[in-house]
A and B are shown apart, each in its own frame.
Chain A
Amino acid sequence: MITAGIDCGSKNTKVVILDDNNILSTSLVLSGFDQEESAQQALNNALEKIGITREDVKHITVTGAGMDAIFFADDNITTVTSDGKGTFFLFPSTRTVIDIGAEEGLVVKLDENGKVKDFGINEKCAAGAGAFIEAMSRALEVNIEAMGELSLKSTKKIPMNAQCTIFAESEVVSLIHQKTPKEDIIRAVHDAIADRNTSMVRQIGIEKDVALIGGMAKNIGFIDAMNRNLGFDLLVPKDKIAPEYISALGAALIAQEKIGG
């Protein structure tokens, strides 16, 4: 039974197409200003990849910040639910899910059956989310994909005082003027955002195993900083499916359940 999950993130819209628990295809497009259009686009891309049509998809469940704008979906579920579902499917030992996206961070606690026990959201401040890394990559004139790798090359820990993305931009500029090596600045940037998110996780309570998903989970520098902060390694989706698709995966799984799959 083919189902689709659409995650309407504030930056990117992700789609996962499932057939009886097998991941058939995924796709990602920029969310832009017309959320519904991007969702259509993402879905069509994913369908084209495996040569099937809309009619082949039996149920579409949507999730994410922009989900209310998607009228062609069959139903919607909260990101908290989809995060928990998708992560537990991949890693059944997960009891804590950390999802850091472009504009917000989410922590979800699961019980041994994968059911949501508790959750917390860190939102509305860019300094706690991917928007922070993006802004810093612009200030440093570094490709955002290279940020994580460069942070691991740092040899010195330097303090970062600014807690706001806007002020951090100015701080980075003055650090560059002082000839501070970019790698050290980038490391400080990653440590800062990891510190903020670790504090929020500690507020909800840490229970192993802890998984990291969302766009930021692609950043090896961030993963490293989080591992250091928590004192153990986080589970990060890698081989089967990329971390930014987990919420969409969760939605597709829920879609399956809805039609009795």
Chain B
Amino acid sequence: MSNAESEKEYWRWTESRFTNPDLNWEDADIISAGVDVGSVSTQAVIMLDGEIYCYSSMRTGSNSPDSAKNAMDWALEGTGLTLDKIQYVVGTGYGRVNVPFAKRAITEIACHARGANFIYGPEIRTVLDMGGQDCKAIRCDNRGKVTAFLMNDKCAAGTGRGMEVFADLLQVHINDVGKMSLDVDEEPEPVSSTCVVFAKSEAVGLLRKGWPKEKVLAAYCSAMAHRVVTLLLRLGIEEKFAITGGIAKNIGVVKRIEDELKFKAPEPSIDPQIAGAIGAALFAKALVEKERKKA
């Protein structure tokens, strides 16, 4: 498999855009937007008085100032609405300082909590976001305000990147990892090394001992789930609990987390990948209201 091919395989989602046909931006009082630039994907969400009007989700690519503009342009496509008519844009995510047209940058933790509150409802108190290069655990109140957080972006274990390394090692398509890991008669001991670099050597040893791929994947998913759970327990978990981010689509990890915590995570009605951008757009609206009060 060539490098280009294997890189393509890591895109587990399709680029998308959406416009709400029931809303008209010309009738709106506050037009706000949020742009979330991630290590892998970028989302732009435009809201009219706190309701989603249009959004886009696309690959970040290698140049993040461009990706913010591209996502915004694509989201606005066909609506007649232009950037200059948006009253406030908030940037967030890794590239949040690289949203050149944003009036303010807000941390992805605060935006994610607000966005999760919007998507899952005010009963949500704990959000676990497992992304490409980080793992965030967030506690929030009924308004989506953060009451506690824990972000791990130092170590690849428990992130999408760590999972990619394993998928690569075992020559398994990343989409199949979750399903395959559940295809075992008995749950094996989890991989003992947390460090992905050392876990890799451990996995090679297991394969040599005759372990089938499914069992090795199970051992790794189990270790990953356990690691994430200990992070969550440090934060304390309160229901309702939601899982978002790329790894939310890995049923092998999700099921093991749910089993260990004895909590089931709800299904979202909106693509959870835009949670950060939604939160940013909501903050943008609140900041417009704040400015108006001051005036």
- The residues of A with any CB-CB pair to B shorter than 8 Å are 33, 103, 124-126, 131, 135, 163-167, 170, 174, 177
Contact = CB atoms under 8 A, between A and B. Distances in A.
Nearest to A132: B197
A177 B62 contact: yes
A170 B39 CA distance: 11
Contacts of A167: 133, 156, 161
Interface string B144-164: 000000000011100001100
A163 B197 contact: no
B197 A135 contact: yes
18 contacts: A33-B205, A103-B198, A124-B198, A125-B155, A125-B195, A126-B198, A131-B197, A163-B154, A163-B155, A164-B155, A164-B156, A165-B156, A166-B162, A166-B197, A167-B156, A167-B161, A170-B161, A174-B62
A131 B196 CA distance: 11
Main SS of chain A's interface residues?
A: helix
B234 interface: no
A87 B112 CA distance: 53
Contacts of B156: 164-167
A177 B63 CA distance: 12
Nearest to A162: B154
A39 to B, nearest CB: 17
Contacts of A131: 197-198
A166 B196 contact: yes
A131 B200 CA distance: 12
A126 B197 contact: yes
A167 B159 CA distance: 11
Contact of B208 (A33, A126, A165): A33
A124 B205 contact: no
Contacts of A126: 195, 197-198
Nearest to A165: B197
B106 interface: no
B87 interface: no
A32 to B, nearest CB: 10
A174 B133 CA distance: 15
A124 B196 CA distance: 10
Contacts of B208: 33
10 tightest A-B CB contacts, nearest first: A166-B156, A126-B197, A163-B154, A164-B156, A164-B155, A165-B197, A126-B195, A166-B196, A131-B197, A125-B195
B193 interface: yes
Nearest to A134: B197
Contacts of B155: 125, 163-164
B175 interface: no
A167 B154 CA distance: 8
A150 B172 CA distance: 36
A39 B272 CA distance: 53
Given A131-B198, A164-B155, A177-B62, 20 more contacts: A33-B204, A33-B208, A124-B193, A124-B194, A124-B195, A125-B195, A126-B197, A126-B198, A131-B197, A163-B155, A164-B156, A165-B156, A165-B195, A165-B197, A166-B156, A166-B161, A166-B196, A167-B156, A167-B161, A170-B161
Contacts of A170: 161
A132 to B, nearest CB: 8
B102 interface: no
Contacts of A135: 197
B216 to A, nearest CB: 15
Nearest to B156: A166
A42 B243 CA distance: 51
A164 B195 CA distance: 9
A65 B62 CA distance: 42
